[in-house]
Amino acid sequence: MRSAMMGLMLAAALAANARAQDGAADAPAKPAGLTPVRQLALAMETADYGRAAKDPLALIVAAGLRRGVATRSTGLGPEGGDVTADTSADPYAADALLAEAMALSKNDPVVAGFAEEVRGAAAKGRSDGIAVSRSVAKPGGTDWYRRIRYDAGKYAEAAVELLGGGAIDLFVYDSAGNVVCRDVRQPKKGYCGWTPKPGETFDIKVENRQPAPARYVLSTN
């Protein structure tokens, strides 16, 4: 029964994500299914909803999504020193989300059962290869990540998500300076997907469009 309910909640989250992406600017066709970068973004969006709605089950779904994606820190910030590295705790870590769900539910036994399911499934179906950088952009600042290499012919992805309110723009340029993808005027997030050619490198630009510092996560495959 618990597994069925979790499955229904996850299906609803996936459907909401698909609807949100239908109108995304300059988004090319992507591989069938939920890619790891998309899954990481969906986990964050579901967690944001759970916190806003004070819904512990949504937080558990978010934790399950997050558990299914293995990430590694790049240890790399934007060039030029325009950003201070964000060394605070990850608010979207699966264990943190599960603890938050338990506290919100006041240790309800049903919620505890769901949480144990997520913990028990932690080693299953993990997706590797997601590089994550967390940084803090200055007010109205522009951050560049230069000369990033992707596998030629393999669908490439970059996603940015604000850890708070505001708006942010995302651009990807090829080695000749041409815009290959952009996602602008989206609240809180941006996503780009494209197929690299052999020998290309790419520059990623993140623009903070608010008059305050912006904590954000940049993830790439």
Mean pLDDT of the residues in the chain: 80
CATH architecture, domain 2-220: Sandwich (2.60)
Structure tokens at 105: 């539910």
Degrees, nearest 5: CA angle 126-131-132: 105
Q: Are strands 142-148 and 127-137 parallel, antiparallel or unpaired?
A: unpaired
Cross-strand bridge partners of residue 187: 167
CA distance 153 to 198: 7
Structure tokens at 16: 């909401």
Helix (H, G, I), strand (E, B) or coil at 16: helix
Degrees, nearest 5: CA angle 104-110-113: 100
The model's confidence at residue 69, banded by pLDDT at 50, 70 and 90, is confident
pLDDT tens sequence across 115-172: 998 988 754 444 456 888 888 888 998 999 999 988 888 899 999 988 887 888 999 9
Provide the residue ranges of all domains of the chain, joining segments of one domain with +.
2-220
